[in-house]
Amino acid sequence: MTSYHFFQSLWHSFYDADFYREIGQRGQGWGLLHLFLVLSLFWIPQLIHLQQDFVNEIGAEAEQFFQQVPAIVISDGTVLINEPMPYRIQVYNPVENDTLIVVIDTSGTYTDPDQLNAKLLLTKHELIVKQSESETQRYNLQEIETFIINEHRMREWFKAFQTWFAVFMYPFLVFASYIFRLAEAFLLAWGAHLWVKPDMLAYRTLVRLMIVSLTPVIIIKTLLSVVGIPPVFWLMFPITVGYYLFALRANLEAPPQSANP
């Protein structure tokens, strides 16, 4: 154990050689829990920011779509709609300068989205989605007994999606970044192991120091993301290596103490 608790480690990791010295000489284990806690904590503000950006980006398009959605009932696999056919929904995306066209046609006149330059075509018994210029997916509706679509329901679904987006994404992002950071830590520690004598710093200690020295980079990345500056690899990686070298130097130049590698 060290004399620094978790929250103290967040700011001491930026500047304190004594902190890294204590992590190297008195710390225990590989530092896996520390990494998990740091990622779990600092993904929260990033996800809130990502969610807000996502909602802002698609909000205007979603509003266009909602205002044009007619009342649709799917009963026993058959689409029922009380509108002139074909019914078109057009949503303009100013960022991509593109228009998403959704067409509903239960008359049987149209059976392919390309006939109407549409991305999605809902016929009497099928939902046809144009995935790309060369790929079209068809979904048979015959197994649907009763399903209702209207503007009110679409708004409710979108609101629920806004609410739960971050909740569902959080564990996946934490897990993926945890695996990535672990791989980064073990690889850089292996590189350090090639020139640091084992009797000076054991491999487990090298990994532990590497993991703790990732803390400033994770915090910097979070701050940049929240203020809208994309963190780039060529900037983040040198900072990572720099802090690792700082941690190694603090331990290699330190007088030997009782260690728990």
Q: Is pLDDT larger for residue 199 or for residue 158?
A: 158
Residue 138 CA to residue 154 CA, distance in Å, equals 22
As a whole number, mean pLDDT of residues 239-258 equals 83
As a whole number, mean pLDDT of residues 111-127 equals 89
As a whole number, mean pLDDT of residues 18-45 equals 92
pLDDT band at 255 (very low <50, low <70, confident <90, very high): low
User: Taking a C-beta distance cutoff of 8 angstroms, is the pair 144, 134 a contact?
Assistant: no
CB atoms within 10 A of CB 130: 18
pLDDT of residue 213: 96
Q: 127: part of which helix (H) or strand (E)?
A: strand 126-130
pLDDT of residue 2: 59
Residue 183 CA to residue 163 CA, distance in Å, equals 32
Residues 6+ apart with CB under 8 A from 140: 77, 125, 126
Residue 6 CA to residue 27 CA, distance in Å, equals 13
pTM of the model: 0.72
Amino acid identity of residue 175, one-letter, is F
Query: 144-156: per-residue pLDDT in tens?
Result: 999 999 999 999 9
pLDDT of residue 135: 85
